[in-house]
Each structure stands twice: as C-alpha cells, then as structure tokens.
Structure 1
Amino acid sequence: MTKQIQILDGGMGRELARNGAPFRQPEWSALALIEAPQYVRQAHDAFIHAGAQVITANSYAVVPFHIGEARFQADGAALAWLAGSLARAAADASPHPVCVAGSLPPALGSYRPDLFEPVAAGAILQVLIDALRDSVDIWLAETQSAIAEVRLVAELLKGDRRPLWFSFTLNDALDEQGHARLRSGERICDAVTAATELNAAAVLFNCSPPEVMSAALREAAANCTLPLGVYANAFEPADNKRGANVGISELRTDTQPPNYLRWAQEWVGQGASIVGGCCGIGPEHIAALAAAFPPAGSLHHPLGVSHD
C-alpha cells in the first residue's frame, strides 16, 4: 500500500516579504496583518495552488514579543481573528480539500525556553485560542523549544475535540553522541513521550536545519507510534541573527526545491507522513513536494474531527 503524505504549506514571513508586503523586525509576519492583510490571503492562495493540504493561520507573530505589549492588549485578539479568518476563507475557496491549522507560537520568544513562564505565556495563548477557535481544524503548537511549552498548550486546550499537533524546534547541530535535542537541551524521546501522554495527534519538528531532522525522526519513531512530520527552515547556518527580533536572517543557497525534496524524501523514508516547510521555504518547494508524494485524501475532517 502506498504511503499517503499530508502536505503542509511553507514559511509565511518570507513569502510575504518576497511578494512586497510590509515586512520588518520586530513585527515580522504580523506587520502584513496590521497594514496589508490582502498579502496574507495571497500567500495562502499561493501555497494552496502549489498543493498544500494544510495551511497555517498567520498568528505566529501576534504576540507581545513581536508587536509590543500595548498593541497586543489593544489589537491582539482582532489580529489573531483576522489571521484565522483569512486562512479559513482561503481554505474554503480551494479547489481541493484544505485544512486550517491554528498557529500557537512560543508566546514569550522563539528559541528562548529560558524566557518561558507559564502564567504569562498562558494569558497570551488564551487570547490566540479564543480568537482562532471558530476558524481552525487543527491546533498547531509550533516552534516549541521545551516540553513545558507543550504541556501548557495541552492544558489550555483541554476539552477541545480538534487534533492537537506538537511541533518542536531543535538545536542546529547534533550533540556529541549524534542525537538531536530540543533547544532546551531535552531529549527527543522525552518530548515524544510527553506528547503521547498529552494526547497529541501528531509530533512534528520545524524551524531547524534540514540536516538535524533525520536524527530526530529516527528517535521519535523508536519511541512513539504517532504520525510524524517535518517542516525545516532555510536559514544560513553561519548566520547568528536567528534569534527573533535580532534581525532578518540570511537564507542558505542549497535549499532550492530539488534539494529540499531530496531531504523530504529521506524524512518520508524514515517515517514522516507530514511534510512542508518553515522559514524560507516557498510555494515552489511545496509544489515539488506535492508532485512527488501522493495526496493524503480529504483533510477537511483530519483524524476524524470536523471543523465546528
């Protein structure tokens, strides 16, 4: 039986910048929501046209870390609602079945598990959850650097019937034993064990170099039976600006669609059934994935749960 692969979209921020949308740090992809939301819809449409079966609402940067505390208090709920509505409209207009994933980011800073504090993070995430609730089919806690971050998301979503996907970000290099680690230093086996205990519907790895994903997949596959996925970034390894709000990172030149597809084929061979892209991965990459992998069928009701 042919393995069916679910195709995710790619990186929203870089696609916005490439298309001429307002784009800068610290607002990142939230700036287009604030000033020119039509570009967000355009990006969703481009990824759908490329073959994405799951698109992610552009709520990642709708947090005080990016837009500031005052703007978040005044406009955060409305901006997150707009992000969900734009994704929902694009999915509903698609000629093929498309699901909407509600992005729940690391609320207090990407790649910064040291900044995590559950009360402050929970207050921010609750605003996003309430605003996105009517638009999404899947909850996607993404770029999670520590197990504590996903435990908080699971608690906030207790009782919600929609699938919950946990996506962890990894250290850029393997440890001395050749193992991938979360950016917190925690082990992959511990992360997937926690995800299973928290009733996650899938475990993914994102916003990390393609080279470290295979090691994470091997360990994840050995420690859980949940669906696994990968959406890597295209950051230049030598660029030291990869912390959010530090600057606009350089993109590497060896992640063109044919190369990225070869990595994706390796991940699928190691057990991944969900593939897509993160920062720097555009519609042309997603088109290459969609052409290479068989469609996973109707995703309007992912894993048996319908959109309310």
Structure 2
Amino acid sequence: MKNIFDSFIQKKGFVVLDGAMATELEARGADLNHSLWSAKLLKDNPGLIKQVHYDYLIAGADVITTASYQASFEGFAKHHYTATEAIELMQLSVQLAFEAREEALKTQPREDKPLVAASVGPHGASLADGSEYRGNYGVSIDDLKSFHRRRMEILINTGADVLACETIPCLDEAIALQQLLAEFPGVQAWISFSCKDGKHLSSGEEFAEAVTLLNQSPQVVAIGVNCTAPQHIASLVQIAAEHTDKHILVYPNKGEVWDATTKCWLPAGAHNSHFAHDAQTWFSAGAKIIGGCCRTTPEDIRQLQQLK
C-alpha cells in the first residue's frame, strides 16, 4: 500500500497540516461552549466551517481535517439528534471539506491536490469532560471498538482521503483503533496522541510503547502527537524516530491548557511559543508532517509553508 503522504514528502520535504478548527471558529464569533464543540456548527453554521477550511487551504495547508472530532452517536444523542441526523452531520463534515477544497483549487491551483482527513476524535471527546487529556476512561478495548466502529465506517464511506485518529490519550484506545482499522482493508490512518510531557501519554503510559505498538500496523501511515504543549514536541519526535520507520507527525497547541470545568483556556505560563521557529526544530528532529492544534491560526500555517 502506497503511503498517501509519500508524494508530498518526496516533492516538498514535508507535509503542512491545517491548524485549529474550534478555536478559529470561536475567534470568528462562534459560541462553542457546548458539549458538541465544533460539531455544533455542522447544524448551526456549516458555512463558517467551510470558510475556515478554505482559509487554511489558501494559507497553504496540504491537509485539512474535518469538523467531526466531537461528532459521535452518543454525543449527538445527548442533544436529541436521531441516529439518521447524526449520520448526515458526520457526512456533512466531510462534504464541507470537499467543497472548500474545490473552491480553493479554483482560486489557487496546485499540482498536488490537498488531502481531506476525516477526524476521529477519542472516546473522551464524547464525554466532554476533558478526559482525552487524562485517558482514565475505565472502559474495555471492546467497548472502545464499539464506540468507534460505526462512525469510522461512515467517515470512510464518504471517500475522505485518510482518517485522522487524534488526541488519543492511552494505549487501550490506540489498540482499539489499530484493531478496527484491520476491519477496513485499504484504509489509511494517522494516529496521534495527547501527551502530558516529553515522554508520557496523557494517561501516564510510555509514548515509546505506543509508537512501537502502532509501528506494526500497515494501515497506520503516520504516528505522532497533537494538542500537546509545544515545549514537549522535540523530545517526543526524537522518541518516535527511535521506535518507528513511519512518518512522524506533530500538531501541537500553543501551550495553553484547557480547563474542562470552566471551559476556557488557561495561560501557557513561561513557555512563549514561536510556532514557525519551533516547527523547524521539530522538522530537524524527524517530523515530516507538521501543523497546529488548538489556538493555532491560518497565519501560523502560512508561516509553515514559508519554511520550505
């Protein structure tokens, strides 16, 4: 199976991901103080989601990630959506990205068509209590597979180019996703973890163990880290490089911490991230797929493109 990122890396050296979706929507006036987070706008204001996708593409992103991170049957059901409505909104998340891509290509033609990554957020995202930054779910691997299976199938059937299994906080969820991928032969995915420091997953388990585990899967085309403080990224990239021959991807946040109780971002503290400068360090350490997570913007992605 040819890795979907290979041609980008061979031609340009590395792949530029997009940046934050939800915090960018908030910066444009959206009220996302809601358990569905960015998925709320799939119903309320899909045009704003498409505009954010478009702006990241015009900024130079090679990959845009759908607004399906928080989209799950369980999450939608809590707000009285039917299963049919949930399916339609998941499908819409990919359709919006496709439409933004076609519009961006008319404005800014490219030799290589940008990729659409269907976001598969962790089980913790559906709980809306910040547990994707703890990993203490207390559920089995089979339970996690049941949670992910149906929505993963729906997202795959949209024709999205790759699955973005992101902000995974623990080994059990990585195992569940790895096993689920085998049920969908030919599908490619990246798996990225949330980490608490330069060595451990949010759960406290060793990042090296997670990378070693996923290195065995032919369908996992990239392994990495997202929504993690930028000061930890270089160390985590170095660990990944020692334990995998797959592409390494990173898309950290700006260093702030999400408080799930007050539903606000707490200050970053002493570390003052200079995103593009930091990205050069991550690239030098071995990362070949680089973007941003919470609080990053199209301007950050524009700066990444200029590093090439």
- Do they superpose with TM above 0.5? yes
Correspondence for 1:242: 259
Q: Summarize the Cα distance change of 1:44–1:76 in structure 2 as closer, same or farther, 3 Å threshold.
A: same
Correspondence for 1:269: 284
User: Matched residue of 1:204: which SS?
Assistant: strand
Q: Which amino acid in 1 is paired with 2:62?
A: Q
Give the deviation of 1:35 after TM superposition: 0.6
Correspondence for 1:224: 244
Q: Which amino acid in 2 is paired with 1:182?
A: L
Correspondence for 1:300: none
Q: Which amino acid in 2 is paired with 1:283?
A: P
8 Å CA contact 1:65–1:108 kept in 2: the answer is no
- Equivalences for 1:123-272 in 2 at 5 Å? 123-133=146-156, 134-158=158-182, 159-171=184-196, 173-174=197-198, 180-199=199-218, 200-236=220-256, 239=257, 241-243=258-260, 246-250=262-266, 252=268, 259-272=274-287
Q: Which amino acid in 2 is paired with 1:105?
A: G
Normalising by structure 2, report the TM-score.
0.84
Q: CA offsets per residue over residues 202-239 of structure 1, 9 Å max, x none?
A: 11110010001111111111111111111001242xx5
Correspondence for 2:299: 284
Give the deviation of 1:63 after TM superposition: 2.8
Q: Summarize the Cα distance change of 1:196–1:268 in structure 2 as closer, same or farther, 3 Å threshold.
A: same
Structure 1: unaligned runs, 5 residues or longer: 175-179, 294-308
8 Å CA contact 1:61–1:67 kept in 2: the answer is no
Give the deviation of 1:278 after TM superposition: 0.2
What is the RMSD of the two structures over their aligned residues, measured on CA atoms? 2.3
**Which has the higher mean CA deviation after the structures are superposed, 103-112 or 51-60?**
103-112
Q: What is the aligned-residue identity percentage?
A: 27
8 Å CA contact 1:106–1:144 kept in 2: the answer is yes
8 Å CA contact 1:59–1:128 kept in 2: the answer is no
Correspondence for 2:144: 121
Structure 2: unaligned runs, 5 residues or longer: 1-9, 126-131
Q: CA offsets per residue over residues 100-135 of structure 1, 9 Å max, x none?
A: 111111123422421152344333322322321223
Does 1:8 pair with 2:17?
Answer: yes
8 Å CA contact 1:54–1:99 kept in 2: the answer is yes
State the number of aligned residues: 281
Does 1:83 pair with 2:93?
Answer: yes
- Equivalences for 1:62-77 in 2 at 5 Å? 62-63=71-72, 67=76, 69=78, 71=80, 73-74=82-83, 75-77=85-87
